[in-house]
């Protein structure tokens, strides 16, 4: 047993240990990685993306369809301007509660400016618009 302890003491403490520093190098170029990884990361992300945008851009529409859409947009704009003028008059937007068909609009001042809450009573959808005050 004594020889074994001496053997451990002599050879156990005389071994050479080799180590190196651990250095983290990011892959993503947005976080300091190599810029050549950009296209690889982008292609990898796009290949995993299951969402595809619907193909309804205006380049596929005929001239007649574009004219119809433009006319429809102008008509809706005129109707909304007319409703706006009838509801608010020359004073512009003032705080209060208003109803436009199935839309309930609540306008009130806050520290962010004028807040416009819009609620569609048919679907329950809500949105909020902030009009900064100056």
Name the pTM for this structure.
Answer: 0.40
Whether residue 126 is contained in a domain is answered as yes
Whether residue 128 is contained in a domain is answered as yes
* SS3 at position 16: coil
Q: How far apart are CA 9 and CA 75, in angstroms?
A: 96
Whether residue 121 is contained in a domain is answered as yes
Whether residue 48 is contained in a domain is answered as no
Whether residue 23 is contained in a domain is answered as no
Whether residue 56 is contained in a domain is answered as no
Number of domains making up the chain: 1
Mean pLDDT of 20-31: 86
Domain that holds residue 125: 93-133
**Proportion of the chain in helix, strand, coil states, percent, rounded to 5:** 45, 20, 35
**Listed range (6-15, 19-28, 98-107) with the worst mean pLDDT:** 6-15
Whether residue 104 is contained in a domain is answered as yes
Whether 134 has a pLDDT exceeding 60, the answer reads: no
Q: Calculate the average pLDDT of the chain.
A: 81
User: How confident is the model at residue 125, as a pLDDT?
Assistant: 92
């Amino acid at each position: 047993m004594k020889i074994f302890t001496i053997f451990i003491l002599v050879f156990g403490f005389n071994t050479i240990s080799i180590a190196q520093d651990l250095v983290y190098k990011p892959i993503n170029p947005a976080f300091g990685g190599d810029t050549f990884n950009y296209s690889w990361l982008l292609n990898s992300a796009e290949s995993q993306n299951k969402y595809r945008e619907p193909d309804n851009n205006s380049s596929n529409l005929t001239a007649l369809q574009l004219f119809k859409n433009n006319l429809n947009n102008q008509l809706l704009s005129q109707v909304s301007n007319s409703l706006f003028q009838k509801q608010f008059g020359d004073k512009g937007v003032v705080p209060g509660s208003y109803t436009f068909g199935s839309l309930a609009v609540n306008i009130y001042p806050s520290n962010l400016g004028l807040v416009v809450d819009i609620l569609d009573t048919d679907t329950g959808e809500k949105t909020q618009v902030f009009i900064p005050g100056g």
